[in-house]
Amino acid sequence: MNHGSVMAGLGLRELKTLMSTPDPMDHQDLLRRHVTELEQRIERARAAKDLIEHALDCPYSFADCEHAREQIAARVPPPPAGATRHGVQAPG
């Protein structure tokens, strides 16, 4: 197995596709999509790291920190209209 491919975070399906031709660069579309996915993962990891670092330095509890609440709210999609929360119908 090519350890470089494993380190690149490619799945078995992607590896099979890359190895289906003599030159893996024949699949630049797959590689570009994977780069985009890696960039998104890195962005999410950086945001999580920043939030944790902020929490470590913040004088407020995590529940009381406005910055933490804003960051979490920005990443949690709002519930669909009329959705229930813990079995209770949303007011409306």
Mean pLDDT by 10 residues, the chain (92 residues): 59 88 89 92 92 90 86 80 62 52
What's the pLDDT at 1? 43
What's the pLDDT at 87? 55
Torsion of CA 21, 10, 46, 67, to 10 degrees: 110
What's the pLDDT at 86? 59
What's the pLDDT at 29? 92
Closest CA to 61 of 69, 70, 72, 49: 69
What would the two tokens of residue 12 be?
């078995």
Q: Are 58 and 68 in contact (CB under 8 A)?
A: yes
